[in-house]
Amino acid sequence: MAKGDHIYVSIYTNNTAPYHHGIDCGNDTVIHYQKNYKNEKNGIILWVSMKDFTKGRKIYTRIYNNCDSPLIVVERAKRRLGETKYNLFYNNCEHFARYCKTGVPISDQVENYKDLIFIGNSGIAASDALVNNGKSIVDTSQNLMKKTLDTISSFWNF
């Protein structure tokens, strides 16, 4: 492990997926998107000790064929300190770490989730709505159903 590395740990103690990602900033410190597990919508990018990041779990390093220099990687991470725009599907810890390394925010875990359940981007949007506001997606579905029935009714009455 070295300064500027994209590191990750299992969120479980048995070292299995899913994983939590961050950027090694040297001196046994990490910048990562810390999620508030009590409230799925909240998270903040923090600079913490390696011990706080790993919580005793095994550390893995993601290897890249093409990525930016450690100086750029750490500077990208520092610029986002304090950010509170966590989103499980669009701006999670893996998106953050990959962005810092390459400039492109991608989460293999989210991409694999989409492929696994065959939902694609619209399914992710629906899942995001359920995670962030389940009531609104139900209301939207009910409104759409009512409009459809009204349209069919108008057509038959014509």
Give the 3-state secondary structure percentages of the chain, helix then strand then coil, rounded to 5. Answer: 45, 20, 35
Task: Name which of 22, 10, 35, 21 is nearest 88 in CA terms.
Answer: 35
Angstrom distance (rounded) from CA 151 to CA 91? 38
At residue 52, the pLDDT reads 96
Give tens-digit pLDDT for 93-118. Answer: 999 999 999 999 999 888 877 655 54
Assign a CATH topology to domain 6-106: endopeptidase fold (from Nostoc punctiforme) (3.90.1720)
Neighbours of 158 (CB within 10 A): 5
In this prediction, the residues of the chain whose per-residue pLDDT falls under 70 are 36-41, 114-158
Domain ranges of the chain: 6-106, 119-157
At residue 133, the pLDDT reads 56
At residue 19, the pLDDT reads 92
